[in-house]
Structure 1
């Protein structure tokens, strides 16, 4: 059985062996809504596809054009088995309901570390995805850069109160880092970006080190709303 949930996912669940992030371009706010509903209906009419899938969440982009997908798999093998037996029928039904979806990229990651407070019960009002790309594969560089970000965050002299958590993921090809950050609201994130400094964080030496890391190719920042959660039930 498949059921919907409004609860945000726990990105630090130890059972998650293979978190996947992907992006679709659908074009307009109306098509965003139709695609989300088509995904929900398509999945709910079928049994939960695999014990190896812990949860599947969809987010609408504040760019009014894209959807972010986050799936929690126990292993890559569990995902590959799903692709062989269950994925295509779901894709076909969704594409029939909303023709012309562009599937831009599927990223395979591993959760590296998270920053959050156990006593923080705030519900995120906005999800911010920071996608970092490096020049070529280097797993040691991925980990070192994340550790430098965490050091800068923990030493931040003026932390913005709107930030709730940060969950850092390393791409399995060694070239990217994805930070799934939970914020109270989109405005809180915008206010933090508008504060003194280059992006989130004050103008400190630690943040400068992060921003000028050797091999850092570029980064993008995107804001999303949690639109659909699907879990076994």
Structure 2
């Protein structure tokens, strides 16, 4: 069966062969809440759909309009089988409860590496920030090197205070990197991004092939896992 959990996902779980992120636009904070509850109700009434689905998490966007979905699969074939056999009936039930949901898009990733939390760090993230880093056409091979450069660049004074962990994923279509960053609070993130960028970080921002950065703030609203 399916059960609800408040535990955040393990982004570096070794069994995850396919990490999927998608966005739904629902329109208002009230409809965000209604959609989360509709998802929970729909899934909890049904058996867990596949052994190769490790977890499914939903986040409310701080924009008050969107939901981010993150599912962890052992491989993409398991996801494709789910689409053929289980996804539509679940979406139909959710749409009946909350009509007018716009499903904006889905991106597929493979995990690359993380800036891990310390073993003794038991903080619970109060804010999730996803940063999409787009690359120029033909620069897909530069993405891993860019992540490596970022992770060996020392932060400025106080710049990473409040950062719990950051997990980097490579889009399978070669177009971008996704950084899923866990922050202690929104205030800690605001302080960090207010720190002036030094010369070393400017090299990260202007790395050859990088087109631009898009950051989005989220709150973890729902976790679903097998019983």
Q: TM-score, normalised by structure 1?
A: 0.94
Contact kept? 2:39, 2:94, Cα under 8 Å: yes
Instruction: Name the residue aligned to 1:200.
Output: none
Matched, 1:156 2:155: yes
Matched, 1:215 2:209: yes
> Residues of 2 paired with 1:93 and 1:138: CA distance?
41
> Residues of 1 paired with 2:43 and 2:175: CA distance?
32
Contact kept? 1:15, 1:74, Cα under 8 Å: yes
Contact kept? 1:20, 1:107, Cα under 8 Å: yes
Q: Unaligned stretches of 5+ in structure 2? A: none
Q: Unaligned stretches of 5+ in structure 1? A: 198-202
Contact kept? 1:137, 1:173, Cα under 8 Å: no
Contact kept? 1:142, 1:177, Cα under 8 Å: yes
Structure 1 residue 157, shift from structure 2 partner: 3.7
Inter-CA distance 137–226: structure 2 relative to 1 (3 Å threshold):
farther
Q: Secondary structure at the match of 2:39?
A: helix
Residue 229 of structure 1, aligned match among 207, 216, 223: 223
Structure 1 residue 118, shift from structure 2 partner: 2.0
1:1-233 equivalent positions in 2, closer than 5 A: 1-116=1-116, 117-152=118-153, 155-158=154-157, 159-197=159-197, 203-204=198-199, 206-233=200-227
Give 4+ residue runs of structure 1 displaced > 3 Å after superposition: none
Q: How many residue pairs are counted as aligned between the two chains?
A: 225
How big is the alpha-carbon RMSD for the aligned residues of Structure 1 and Structure 2? 1.0
Structure 1 residue 160, shift from structure 2 partner: 2.8
Q: TM-score, normalised by structure 2?
A: 0.96
Contact kept? 1:131, 1:176, Cα under 8 Å: yes
